[in-house]
Amino acid sequence: MGKLKVISGKRLVQIFEKFGWFEVRRKSSHIIMVKSGEIVTLSIPDHDEVAKGTLRSLIRSAGITTDEYNESL
C-alpha cells in the first residue's frame, strides 16, 4: 500500500472514469458516480483537495487498490 497523493475532486472523477465509473449527476457540492454491475455509488466532494481519509474510503469503495490509484495519476 503506497502513500496517497491528495488531489481535487474533479481530478478524482477523471481517475475513476478510467476504471469504468461514470458521472451520473451533481448534487450540490458532490459528484455522484456509478458503475455498471455495482451496487455501490461514489459521492465525490467537488473540493480543491479531497481529505486523505475520504480519498482512501472512495478508493476502497471503487474496488481499486492504492497502487492502481497511484499509477493512474
Count of the separate structural domains present in the chain: 1
Query: Domain holding 40: CATH number?
Result: 3.30.920.30
What's the pLDDT at 1?
A: 57
CA distance linking residue 40 with residue 7, whole number of Å: 22
Assigned domain for 57 exists: yes
Of 71, 70, 72, the C-alpha closest to 5 is: 70
32 pLDDT higher than 90: yes
Instruction: Say which residues have a Cβ less than 8 Å from residue 8's Cβ, sequence separation at least 6.
Output: 47, 48, 49, 50
Assigned domain for 3 exists: no
Global pTM reads 0.90
Average pLDDT over all residues of the chain: 92
Would you call 70 exposed, middle or buried from its count of C-beta atoms within 10 A (0-12, 13-18, 19+)? middle
